[in-house]
Structure 1
Amino acid sequence: MPPTPTIKRSAPRPPNASTRQDLDAQALWQKDKDHFIHPFTDYSRFHDEGCDLITDSDGIYVEDVHGNRFIDGIAGLWCVNVGHGRAEIGQAMADQATRMAYFSTFNNLSNAPAAELAAKLAELAPAHLNHVFFSCGGSTANDATVRLVHYYFNRLGKPSKKRILSRNNAYHGTTYLAASLTGIESNNWDFDTLDHLVTHLSEANLYRRPEGMSEAAYCDHLVAELEERIAEIGADNIAAFIAEPIMGAGGVLMAPAGYHARIQAVCRAHDVLFIADEVVTGFGRLGHFFASEAVFDTQPDIINCAKGLSSGYAPLGATLISDELFEVLGTPQGKGGVLSTGFTYSGHPVSCAAALKNIEIIEREAICANVREVGPYLAQQLKTLSDHATVGDVRGSHFMLAIENVADKATKELLPVEARVGDRVAAEAQSRGLIIRPVGHLNIISPPLIWDRDTVDRAVAILDEAFTAVTASLKADGFL
């Protein structure tokens, strides 16, 4: 077996000195390595290498502690939709923080930004989704949703409806229940999950559908699997089906045409709620504030959102609930009965102020229209990378795209894990001034929604060079 490669980085590690006058790069690197438990981090490397420290940002760019400047190709983490350094969002947060940073929203108390934001989300969402439950992010939004769904069916006198249907390679978060909904196997290695509550179906993955199966037949196959699983478990035991419109962290997996609408129809026929996890797809990433109805012709009972809701300027999640569900959730159990769930920071005024200003910018600058215009061009230009030896598939939509690296394009066989191909591509791109995300054998591109065609051209040129270098290094190390 070839040796495990050393992945080239953009700056020496540990850093010798900082080019920034106001930061001690060596001290920061050491503090981070010694004390910060980073999520989703390979600790076989971290203990020696530490992390690259990003310290500054502006528009589509971020800058590290050494002053190296990069095009942000991942929008922070799917979320900085309006770009970095928006002074007016910072000012809105500062104004709210100095006026009233926090007060409880429990026990018939509220605040102005939360009320304004709830009304704005109801205006932007599909017409039947008029009620908003605030949380702190995507994981907590999904977690809270399941709790509310179970409560809903309990209140209807259907306490056996507990099971949630999810999908393999789905990503719904990492809180205990949200991690159980997540179907990415490696995410839960050696972690416990609530398997009695969640059943995973096949992912919708056009690239790896059964050999020789048409797109239409593949859709039939997936819908039939859902119907069979409902029959097996019993509709009286199933509360909801949860799905990302496009599967994000699981590989930007694309479903066959008509899949989501047909899945929703099956759910409706069996009194199973349909939950759309729009934590990634919401707030413009596919060219609309919400993709469920505008792109996928569905009318979910619940839509969850986070990330682009505030463009990452402050932690915030939201669960948008239909009028039909709220009629039950908003009815007291009896005299003095309360809806006894929520978070200290539900409807946090500073986070809500950030989200309101973020939405204002998206509307004022017609950012969704920019995504609809530039997104197809980004996808088209990324497909030019298909000539490279390892590029098996370029997929996704608009500003949500992935490149799947393979050892053999004809068989779609993957390179061995030890090749760390996704890491190689990301490192080569970063050394040339572009940050993209490695996820195993994949590379994900999910940029701020303000990229223009010139930025696309520069990013794709960097990727072209990166893939050329990776092909050479894989051959040199005996992986190709």
Structure 2
Amino acid sequence: MDTLAEILSQPEPGRATSASEADARHVLHPWADLSGLGEQDPLIISRAKGVRVQDSAGKEYLDAIGGMWCMTLGYGREELADAMAAQARRMAYYTPFGDVASEPAARLAERLSQLAPGDLNRVHFTTCGSTAVESAIRIAQYHFSAQGQPERRHVLSRVNAYHGGTYLTQSLSGKEADRTHFQYESGFVHHLSSPEHDPDRSALSAAERLAELLAEMEAEIARIGPEKIACFIAEPILASGGVLTPPEGYQEATFDLCRKHGILYISDEVVTGFGRLGHFFASEIRFGIQPDMIITAKGLTSGYQPLGAVLISDRIADALADSAPKDKPVFSNGFTYSGHPVACAVALANIETMEREDICGHVRDVGPYFLERLRELRSSPIVYTVRGDHLMACVECWTGEEAGPNAANMALAQKVDAHCQEAGLLVRPYENLCILSPPLIIGRQDIDRIVTILSGALQRAAAELEAGTI
């Protein structure tokens, strides 16, 4: 019998001659450039091991973006593949609706409640971060509506936030460049200013910036009316927005404002959770808060299976049960693949591996070194700033004139990305940013390689800018 690879390589009538041609003809990618639809020449990744991937031509690359923030334990982990296969053979799927359960989902919920801060002991499983965020917003609105406060449905988010790709989560997201010809919810979604504070570039001290942000938040709450606001959703660090770090004390101060006005606090830890900052969850141990809900996904399974989850405090879960209308007590939110047993089995194996290998401790060890080395790149004339926290970082490019995602800066960053790829390094090109989020298993030698290649790419791009060829 032919192997899958042999079957895929055999030509058939009407079939494209290569995967690249098939992709160009048939696939609509997330965040695709529609002006070149059908003409793209995609990089086909066909193999991967550790922190490296290989394309269909056999060229190897160091994956400095960890897939999409998610390939935390690295590629080719046999224990995760074995857990996946074993559960698929035992029971691939059964409906999670109503009072039917699977053991992997039950055990994973138990483990997550043990890892989470405070009383976040109830878990609602979803399929990814987007569906988890959307579910959390619905839970917040249901929470108040069931208690006779249906007007309390408004949501506070922030400019430069990223919370997902569904209708509601895209509406919550605050990246102006992502707002195109789709429709967005504006009736109950409100955006506060982006909370970043870069001490290398800001004219304000951290304390001044914090006071400014809190005054704005207090004013917006007063404008909307605290009695109308259900929740505030916030990434501890704005990841896809450009790895933007708020001033010290911001998380605690905004949490206190929410408590003052009875607003639920949702911490979106899709990126910052599961080791990226050196802890399973960063909300309490790093930022001093115990949210009403925490969102997790991505590193929850190290990217080996799609899975998301909302961790809900006992206070909220108990209130949901106590205030459930007698005529309509059903919690009508969930998905066919909520708590998928194969995905949950992988997540359990992922947690076990992370604990056995002390992955969080490793991140706390190499994370400062990663940022220290990257900050050496600030000497480049085309680097506006370097920012980050442990194993999430961003190198922001500029031509030396106006900072930000203008056409010239974006073209420059694209050149840097192209030079990196040519040299065997994959970084995430986004606007005028080079975003980095390598697998958490990365070591100092590969960190040095990332910086060496990036440095060379910046030098080449700077020379091209000087020569006027960009």
Q: TM-score range by the shorter chain?
A: over 0.9
Shift in alpha-carbon separation, 1:303–1:424, aligned structure 2, 3 A: same
Which residue identity is paired with 1:371? V
Partner of 1:202: 193
- Determine if the alignment matches structure 1 residue 369 to structure 2 residue 389: no
Q: Which runs of 5+ in 2 are unaligned?
A: 10-15
Task: Tell whether the 8 Å contact from 1:407 to 1:415 is kept in structure 2 after alignment.
Answer: no
What's the CA shift for 1:478?
A: 5.5
The answer to whether the aligner puts 1:102 opposite 2:124 as a matched pair is no
Match for residue 13 of structure 2? none
Partner of 1:343: 335
Residue 212 of structure 1 deviates from its aligned partner by 2.8
Partner of 1:385: 377
Q: Deviations over 1:406-441 (max 9, x none)?
A: 2228x6466634751222111111111110001110
Find the aligned partners of 2:430 and 2:252 in 1 and give their Cα distance: 29
What amino acid sits opposite 2:75 in the alignment?
H
Q: What secondary structure is seen at the aligned counterpart in 2 of 1:62?
A: strand
The question of whether the paired residues in 2 share the 8 Å contact of 1:125 and 1:290 is answered with: yes
Q: For the Cα contact (< 8 Å) 1:117–1:356, is it kept in 2?
A: yes
Question: How far is 1:210 from its partner?
Answer: 9.2
Q: What are the equivalent positions in structure 2 for 1:87-166 lying under 5 Å apart?
A: 87-166=78-157
Deviation, 1:310, is 0.6
Residue pair 2:395, 2:435 contacting (<8 A) in 1 also = yes
Distance 1:171 1:84 in 2: 26
Work out the CA distance in 1 between the residues paired with 2:131 and 2:106: 20
1:132, distance to aligned residue in structure 2 (A): 0.3
Q: TM-score under structure 2 normalisation? A: 0.94
Give distance in 1, aligned partners of 2:65 and 2:175: 20
Partner of residue 465 from structure 1, selected from 435, 456, 459: 456
Q: Name the aligned partner's letter for residue 289 of structure 1.
A: F
* Kept in 2: contact 1:386–1:394 (CA 8 A): yes
Q: Which amino acid aligns with 2:139?
A: L
| Deviation at residue 103 of structure 1 after TM alignment | 0.3
The residue aligned with 1:28 is 19
The secondary structure found in structure 1 opposite 2:198 is helix
Aligned residues: 459
Quickly say closer, same or farther: Cα 1:419–1:160, change in 2 above 3 A: closer
Please list, as runs of the form range in 1=range in 2, the aligned pairs for 1:61-80 lying within 5 A after superposition. Answer: 61-80=52-71
Matched AA of 2:252: A
Residues 168-194 of structure 1, C-alpha deviations (whole Å, 9 max, x = no match): 010000101111100011212111101
Match of 1:429 among 417, 420, 440: 420
User: By how many angstroms is 1:42 displaced?
Assistant: 1.7
Matched, 1:187 2:178: yes
Counterpart CA distance in 2 for 1:156 and 1:92 is 42
Q: Which amino acid letter does the alignment assign opposite residue 392 of structure 2?
A: M
Of 299, 321, 330, which residue of structure 2 is paired with 1:330?
321
What amino acid is the match of 1:376?
A: P
**Structure 1: stretches of 5+ with no match in the other structure:** 1-19
The one-letter code sitting in structure 1 at the alignment partner of 2:385 is D
Would you say the 8 A contact 1:285–1:449 is kept in 2? yes
Report if the CA contact (8 A) 2:404-2:432 is conserved: no
Contact 2:399 2:408 in 1 (8 A): no
The alignment's C-alpha RMSD in Å is: 1.8
Give the whole-Å Cα distance in 2 for the aligned partners of 1:387 and 1:45: 35
CA offset at residue 318 of structure 1? 0.2
Task: State the AA in 1 paired with 2:376.
Answer: T
Tell me the CA shift for residue 273 of structure 1. Answer: 0.6
**CA contact under 8 A between 1:408 and 1:414: conserved in structure 2?**
no
For 1:167, the equivalent position in structure 2 comes to: 158
Contact 1:429 1:435 in 2 (8 A): yes
CA deviation string 1:282-319 (max 9, x = no partner)? 10000000011011111111000100001110000000
Q: Mark the CA change 1:387 to 1:260 in structure 2 (over 3 Å): closer, same or farther.
A: same
Which residue pairs with 1:4 in the alignment?
Answer: none
SS of 2:203's equivalent in the other structure is: coil
Partner of 1:5: none
Q: Percent identity?
A: 44
